[in-house]
């Protein structure tokens, strides 16, 4: 277990300052695999502090991306998401460039971890960005429109609630079919009776699966 150092950072994307919450394992000059975390449509990047801290303690450099900073978004609906999605994707691309330059990061071992809207962004980004080695998808999906733009994909961990009424579980199965068709490694766990967001034993199980998946695919 590593001691975790918390800090703030920012980088420029499209002329805007984009914030990041940094959770870094204390080390003696070594480079760590990195995980960029993307919050859901609620915009609650502070809600990602717990999983980010846990991953950092396990030896991952974790950066929680404030991608709403690019568009000044505070309230959200489908129209806002449709309008801003390409800009948020560019912001994600720029965040990967920023993280890859950090002295404590191994630029060849970068993963994305997204919740809901953040998972849609993570999967879309990974479909065009060869720098992404793995994606953890918490109750998100791959937009159908990405079929046109997809250049590649990396190993994916799919975690979804069977009773999700916000993002239907069919999104998880659609992603599974895409990955199988392309012969890309994936793991999937559908939680019976779970809705949009995990708590209790399901949250704990999802966390353990996430840790195991990231260790497996970001191994040195």
Per-residue pLDDT tens for 52-101?
999 999 999 999 999 999 988 877 888 888 889 999 999 999 999 999 99
Higher per-residue confidence, 45 vs 200: 200
- CATH of 4-217, picked from 3.40.50.620, 3.40.50.460, 3.40.50.1820, 3.40.50.2020, is 3.40.50.1820
State yes or no: pLDDT of 136 exceeds 80. yes
Q: Are strands 156-161 and 186-191 parallel, antiparallel or unpaired?
A: parallel
State yes or no: pLDDT of 159 exceeds 90. yes
- Give me the pLDDT at residue 27, please: 80
- Listed range (40-54, 88-102, 116-130, 165-179) with the worst mean pLDDT: 40-54
Task: Give CA 191 to chain center in angstroms.
Answer: 20
Where do the H-state alpha helices sit in the chain?
Answer: 49-57, 78-100, 117-126, 146-149, 170-182, 200-217
Q: What's the average model confidence in pLDDT over 187-200?
A: 94
Q: What's the average model confidence in pLDDT over 137-166?
A: 92
Mean of all residue pLDDT scores within the chain: 93
Q: Give CA torsion, residues 1, 204, 141, 69, to 10 deg.
A: -60
Query: Of the ranges 26-40, 63-77, 141-155, 161-175, which is most confident?
Result: 161-175
- Give me the pLDDT at residue 183, please: 95
Annotated domain spans of the chain: 4-217
- Give me the pLDDT at residue 188, please: 98
Cα distances (Å, whole numbers) of residue 176 to 137, 158, 195, 196, 215: 11, 8, 19, 19, 21
- Give me the pLDDT at residue 148, please: 81
Q: Residue 41's pLDDT band (boundaries 50, 70, 90)?
A: confident
């Amino acid at each position: 277990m590593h001691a975790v150092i918390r800090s703030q950072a920012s980088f420029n994307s499209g002329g805007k300052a984009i914030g990041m919450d940094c959770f870094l394992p204390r080390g003696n000059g070594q480079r760590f695999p990195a995980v960029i975390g993307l919050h859901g449509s609620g915009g609650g990047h502070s809600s990602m502090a717990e999983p980010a801290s846990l991953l950092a303690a396990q030896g991952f450099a974790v950066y929680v991306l404030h991608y709403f900073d690019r568009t000044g978004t505070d309230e959200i609906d489908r129209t806002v998401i449709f309008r801003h999605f390409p800009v948020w994707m560019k912001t994600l691309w720029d965040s990967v460039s920023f993280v890859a330059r950090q002295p404590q990061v191994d630029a060849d071992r970068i993963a994305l971890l997204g919740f809901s809207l953040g998972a849609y962004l993570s999967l879309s980004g990974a479909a065009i960005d060869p720098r992404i080695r793995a994606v953890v998808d918490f109750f998100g999906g791959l937009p159908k429109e990405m079929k046109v733009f997809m250049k590649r994909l990396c190993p994916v961990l799919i975690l979804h609630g069977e009773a999700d009424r916000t993002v239907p579980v069919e999104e998880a199965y659609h992603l599974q079919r895409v990955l199988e068709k392309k012969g890309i490694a994936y793991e999937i766990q559908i939680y019976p009776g779970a809705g949009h967001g995990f708590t209790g034993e399901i949250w704990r199980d999802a966390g353990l699966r996430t840790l195991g998946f990231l260790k497996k695919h970001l191994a040195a």
